[in-house]
Amino acid sequence: MKRLLVILCTTLIPFIVTAQETDAESWAKRDFHIKEVMVYGQRPMKEIGTQQTKIDSIVLKENIALSMADVLTFNSSIFVKNYGRATLSTVAFRGTSPSHTQVSWNGMKINNPMLGMTDFSMIPSYFIDDASLLHGTSSVNETGGGLGGAVKLSTKPADAKGFGLQYVQGIGSFKTFDEFLRLTYGNDHWQTSTRAVFSSSPNDYKFRNHDKKENIYDEDMNIIDQYYPIERNRSGSYKDLHILQEVYYNTGRGDRFGLNAWYINSNRELAMLTVDHGDDTDFDNRQREQTFRGVLSWDHLRNDWKIGAKAGYIYTWMAYDYKRDVGNGTMMHMTRSRSRINTFYGQVDGEYHIGNKWLFTANLSLHQHIVESEDKNIIRQDGGKAIVGYRKGRPELSGSISAKWRPIDRIGLSVVVREEMFGKEWTPIIPALFIDGVLSKRGNIVAKASVSRNYRFPTLNDLYFLPGGNPDLKKESGWTYDAGLSFAVGREGIYSLSGSANWFESFIEDWIIWLPTTKGFFSPENIKDVHAYGVELKADLNVALTKEWQLGLNGTFSWTPSINRGEPRTPADQSVGKQLPYVPEFSSTITGRLSWRRWTFLYKWCYYSERYTMSSNDISLTGKLPPYFMSNISLEKVLTFSWADLSLKGTINNLFDEEYLSVLSRPMPGINFEIFIGITPKW
Amino acid sequence: MTTKCVRLILLTLLLLHSSCMKWEYGLEEEFQNDASERGLFICNEGNFQYGNATLSYYNPETKEVQNEVFYRANAMKLGDIAQSMVIRNGIGWVVVNNSHVIFAIDVNTFKEVGRITNLTSPRYIHFLSDEKAYVTQIWDNRIFIVNPKRYEITGYIDVPKMTMESGSTEQMVQYGKYVYVNCWSYQNRILKIDTETDQVVDELVVGIQPTSLVMDCNNKLWTITDGGYEGSPYGHEAPSLYRIDAESFTIEKQFKFEFGDWPSEVQLNGTKDKLYWLNDDVWEMDVTADRVPVRPFLPYNGTIYYGLTVDPTNGDVYIADAIDYVQQGMVYRYSKDRELIDSFYVGIIPGAFCWK
């Protein structure tokens, strides 16, 4: 024990005693900056013709309690399907399914290879330094399979000088505690950072249950009265720990090395449905996860060329336990499933510039997945024990080459050719073509267009899950077309205004859907052809109203019909020509930020139109999800002392205390509050 | 300037506030059907974990269908996965599997009269008397004994050779003082329960996964197995239809299907002398037949039927088509002469029927 104490002291004391100016400090002091207007001639060659949304770092670092699901909900055109507070949150990018969005972290794909999707509630936004959304065709620049698009998440060096420390404590409604600690050290060559987030809550918010009534009986068990009960969110507690270690080394002579290691330990109950008449003390429904993700990177940079290599590893252990009390306090398993995923990752990439007019890139990545799924323990016919599950491995190889050409300042052309191999099956060549051109230098008006083919292979569960996996599934395929205009105007230090309007069209064939069978389990089939199309609008305004008052407004609007164009399954099928269920046709977000001296007021608003719960778009009394509006606000004050910077922040979520559902039978919390205190010592 | 900014904030708040997203309360509707009127209840399972199960009611005389009758009569949801329903003395007992509940409703008004709660994962209810019934479960190795009058769980029947996790007891039929139960998921048995001692007194091994159980006019039990599935550690075999003598509790006949067939939903007509089941097509067979007919009663029409029932009074056959399982399903009504009489949309995944 003494030895442990000595080690802890010798490790931590230097951090505390010698902390200097750090990135953490700039967080505490951060000011509002009017963005520079991008000059057309400086548009990066790599982004020719791409439709990209970059999430501002201020948004990512807004507060420690936010996950990437929260950030995307209020700051992008993506629809986030949220099953409740601190529960599974998946995304629908341009009206597609969650597995049609490819997600990478520091270059490594982090989509679950068994399920295909990513749970964005498990990614704390404080762990992400750069986040960008690649819409539709633009995702082919980075990866295949992104029929909706791709989300690129990465970390970057803190740019610290000496030691730094930042600690933030959040205390909120429903006994919610969020804690964040970051230790940094940096010099000319080295940058290290250790981040930790711990969030916990019983999450037992109150709501009036409109789906259920409680009965009052007389002595003869006749109902004499009924009422809608005020209930607590039952069985919804969570404890999530994330630790992120980063080490970067820059030789100063064109070589950079990086190590990123992220550990997650999550223990979440699965909240009971509004229509559950079980006693929550008799049931335990819980999901646990331990995940390690590590990436080693090397970049070698020269004036006109660059090569890089990455190696990574992901280990995920997931446990799902559904137990009930059998009468004597003994909890017995109704379901006990386990899954283990090992993923080995390697990547090489290179870039080569010829003057200012040509850029060639090449990229090759390999993800080798080895998965083990144990879904159920059974007793065989001979009396022995057996596990229902599967063990499979699959290599996923993806390679691309691209040529980007800017013959004159105003025009850029880009061709990307990608090919992928999953298991032993290859995709045909995946081509993508991008073009952009400056229509007006004055308003920096840029027109963009792109077209691409894309494929998505079935996930490992789609193919092998027992029972129901279908090894005969075909890969999904699609064509996507994009075209849009963007502009940017402004005066340095006074205002900036930018915006874009983008039209897109996607045709996806052989869409995979899991359907029940007469044997009591689900099985996937290639059944749908989907036509997703629409318009995405974005606008961003930053104004220095006076020397002390600054205003920022950011908004998005999407119209995303996602229409089933398949053949009717039966003569009675009413789903053809209808919007896919749970995909809103319209969505919008607005964020307003008003700063005065060291005060910042933030208003966030989002809107989703009604989501259908049936493929026929019928609206029934039991299947209604009306339009969704949400407003959150926060107020922050930064106090500067000689010994430290202090940040005080208060947030109010669900400002108007709406009683609402995001998904059927999953109530969301009413108005709730959290305060944050952050300290960044100076020494 | 400060005042202007504050005004701006207030104006923004006002503009962005909307109350369209309200989680609405239901409105109670009054239904009053004639007690002597015949009717058909359809349990629409709904989607697992979405709590959108519904109850439909069809009048075979007027051919009128009323959907979501439970919600409309009670202004609350039925729950998650409506599994089955039986009627006893004018009270309908609707078993809602993943809501851990059985609702008791007046079959004429659809109003709730009581409920049995906190069941593990109920599948079917079978009445022994007004004050005693059995409730089978999945994911529990116990059959629950309940008092329907007091809406209470009063005891359990432990099922041997079954763990909680692999527990699966399904449909029940009674012969004398014995209740027979088919055990389905990763099981291959029919249980015999003595209703006086509430003990499993015997069991009979049939094929893999017997899906349903009925008893004909000659006191013969009929069960149909699905044969498991490819890759199952429990085994995969050709499914079969079994005839079991209730008295001796022995298999009398086995009708084998093709390997890979998926038969289910064995049902009887009103006189209990004709057997019906689904196996892509709809099949009909006399209970005394020695072999399965060559031609189906109704041929496969490109969809997987999910539910089946036969009108006990006139022999009309009703088949449920769940279509894509996320829209209102369709019920087709055929005469015993195979003529389509009617078709009507019900709720999501119509799976079980109950005659009033």
Using a CB-CB cut-off of 8 Å, the residues of chain A touching B231 are: 390, 466-467, 469
Examine the pLDDT at A35 and tell me if it is beyond 70.
Answer: no
Residues 6+ apart with CB under 8 A from B7: none
What pLDDT, in 10s, does the model give residues A245-258?
Answer: 999 999 999 999 99
**Per-residue confidence (pLDDT) for residue A38, from 0 to 100:** 47
If phi over 0 gives left and psi between -120 and 50 gives alpha, with beta otherwise, what is residue A665?
left
E strands within B132-237? 132-137, 142-147, 152-158, 172-175, 178-183, 189-194, 199-205, 210-215, 220-225
* Cα B210 from chain centre: 15
pLDDT band at residue A493 under the 50/70/90 scheme: confident
Compute the nearest-CA separation of B95 from chain A (Å): 12
Partners of residue B345 in chain A, C-beta under 8 Å: 572
State how far the Cα of B287 lies from the Cα of B216, in Å rounded to an integer.
7
Q: Does A224 touch chain B (CB under 8 A)?
A: no
Q: Give residue A4's pLDDT.
A: 37
Q: Which chain B residues are within 8 Å of A222, Cβ to Cβ?
A: 113
The DSSP output letter for A566 is S
8 Å CB contact of B165 and A334: yes
Helix (H) and strand (E) counts in chain A: 5, 37
Any chain B CB within 8 A of the CB of A326? yes
Residue A683: pLDDT band (50, 70, 90) is confident
Looking at CA atoms only, how far is residue A548 from chain B in angstroms?
10
Does residue A31 surpass a pLDDT of 50? no
Using an 8 Å CB-CB cutoff, list chain A residues near B26: 210, 621
Q: Which class would CATH give A2-681?
A: mainly beta
- Residues in chain B with CB shorter than 8 Å from the CB of A573 are 323-324, 327
Whole-model pTM? 0.91
Which positions 184-223 of B are in contact with A (Cβ < 8 Å)? 184-186, 188, 208-209
**H-helix or E-strand containing A681?**
strand A672-681
CB < 8 Å from A in window 152-191 of B = 156, 161-166, 184-186, 188
Instruction: Say if residues B287 and B275 touch (Cβ distance below 8 Å).
Output: yes
Cβ-count burial B46-68 (b if 16+ within 10 Å, e if not) = bbebbbbbbbbbbbbeeeebbbb
Q: What average pLDDT does this structure show over A292-317?
A: 97
Optimal mutation site among A622, A652, A662, interface B, most CBs of chain B within 10 A = A622
What tokens were used for A661?
Answer: 């559902």
Contact A277 B72 (CB under 8 A): no
The phi, psi pair for A93, rounded to 5°, reads -90, 120
Q: Is A93 left (phi over 0), alpha (psi -120 to 50) or beta?
A: beta
Q: What is the pLDDT of residues A400-412, one digit of tens each?
A: 999 999 999 899 9
Average pLDDT for residues A601-627, to the nearest whole number?
Answer: 91
- Min distance A55 CA to chain B CA atoms (Å): 23
Q: How far apart are CA A273 and CA B23, in angstroms?
A: 15
* Angstrom distance (rounded) from CA B115 to CA A83: 28
Task: Tell me how far apart the alpha carbons of residues A316 and A113 are, in angstroms, rounded to a whole number.
Answer: 11
CA distance A240 to chain B (A): 24
- Give the closest residue to A308 by CA, choosing from A262, A254, A357: A254
| Residue-level pLDDT at A623 | 87
Phi, psi of B116, rounded to the nearest 5 degrees: -105, 120
**Which of B45, B76, B185 should we substitute to test contact with A (largest number of A Cβ atoms within 10 Å)?**
B76
Helices (H), A299-406: none
Query: CB distance B114–A665 less than 8 Å?
Result: no
Strands A149-154 and A190-201: unpaired
The encoded tokens of residue A410 equal 């105003």
pLDDT at B14: 58
Dihedral-angle region of residue A670 (phi above 0 means left; psi in -120 to 50 means alpha; beta otherwise): beta
Residue A594 to residue B117, Cβ atoms within 8 A: no
For residue B78, the chain A residue with the least C-alpha distance is: A275
Task: Inform me whether the C-beta atom of residue A230 falls under 8 Å from chain B C-beta atoms.
Answer: no
Q: Is residue A11 scored above 70 in pLDDT?
A: no
Question: Phi and psi for A45 in degrees, rounded to 5?
Answer: -60, -35
B76: Cβ contacts below 8 Å, ≥ 6 apart:
A210, A211, A212, A213, A228, B26
Nearest beta carbon to residue A275 from set B77, B112, B162: B77
Question: Inter-chain contact B77–A627, Cβ cutoff 8 Å?
Answer: no
Interface test with A, best of B16, B70, B150, B306 (most A CBs within 10 A): B16
- My answer on whether omega of the bond before A561 falls inside 30° of 0, hence cis, is no
pLDDT at B17: 56
- Kindly state the tokens that stand for A240: 């999530």
Q: Quote the Cα angle for A578-A579-A583, to 5°.
A: 165
- What is the per-residue pLDDT for A83? 85
Q: What is the pLDDT of residue B222?
A: 98
Strand, coil or helix: what is A1? coil
Neighbours of A573 (CB within 10 A): 20
CA distance A678 to A356: 45
Q: A161-175, A418-432, A620-634: which has the minimum mean pLDDT? A: A620-634
| pLDDT < 50 regions, chain B | 19
- Cα radius of gyration rounded to whole Å, chain A: 26
Which percentage of chain A shows pLDDT scores above 90?
82
- Return the residue matching tokens 């610290």: A160
User: Out of B17, B140, B229, whose CB is closest to A519?
Assistant: B229
Q: What local confidence, expressed as pLDDT, does residue A133 receive? A: 95
pLDDT tens-digit map of A228-286:
999 999 999 999 999 999 999 999 999 999 999 999 999 999 999 999 999 999 999 99
pLDDT digits (tens, 9 = 90+) for A544-572: 999 899 999 999 999 999 999 988 988 89
Q: What pLDDT does B13 receive?
A: 58
- Locate the domains of chain A by residue range: 2-681
DSSP state of A611: B
Question: Burial of A536 by CB count in 10 Å (0-12 exposed, 13-18 middle, 19+ buried)?
Answer: buried
Contact of A487 with A444, CB cutoff 8 Å: yes
Strand order in the sheet with B101-106: B82-88, B91-96, B101-106, B112-117
Candidates A335, A572, A624; nearest CB to B321: A572
Contact B321 A570 (CB under 8 A): yes
Closest CA to A215 of B91, B98, B107, B113: B113
Question: Would you call A275 and B67 a contact, using CB atoms and an 8 Å cutoff?
Answer: no
CA distance A636 to A651: 9
pLDDT classification of A327: cutoffs 50, 70, 90: confident
Instruction: Give me the DSSP letters along A278-319.
Output: S-TTTEEEEEEEEEEEEEEEEEEE-SSEEEEEEEEEEEEEEE
Q: Following DSSP, what letter does each residue of B67-79 receive, concatenated?
A: -SHHHHHHSS--B
Kindly give the pairing relationship between strand A101-105 and strand A149-154.
parallel
> What is the pLDDT at residue A316?
98
Tell me the pLDDT band of A17, cut-offs 50, 70 and 90: very low
* Rounded Cα distance, B160 and B162, in Å: 5
Average pLDDT over residues A43-62: 91
In chain A, whose CA is at the least distance from the CA of B189? A381
Smallest CA–CA distance, residue B324 to chain A, in Å, is 7
Q: Is B2 helix (H, G, I), strand (E, B) or coil?
A: helix
Inter-chain residue contact B229 with A388, CB threshold 8 Å: no
In sequence order, what are the residues at sequence separation of 6 or more whose Cβ sits closer than 8 angstroms to the Cβ of residue B248? none
Instruction: Give the residue with greater pLDDT, B341 vs A624.
Output: B341
* Structure confidence by residue, pLDDT tens digits, A80-132: 988 878 889 999 899 999 999 999 999 999 999 999 999 999 999 999 999 99
> Residue A331 and residue A325: Cα distance in Å, rounded?
4
**More confident call, A15 vs A452:** A452
CB atoms within 10 A of CB A147: 28
Q: Which residues contact A516 (CB under 8 A, 6 or more apart)?
A: A522, B306, B322, B325, B349
User: Residue B51's closest CA among B99, B83, B104, B102?
Assistant: B99
Closest alpha carbon to A607 in B95, B19, B302? B19
Contact at CB, B165 and A377, closer than 8 angstroms: yes
CB interface of A with B, residues 272-301, below 8 Å: 273-279, 282
pLDDT at position A329 = 87
The Cα–Cα gap between B17 and A626 comes to 15
Residues of chain A in contact with residue B54, where contact means CB-CB under 8 angstroms, are: 620, 622
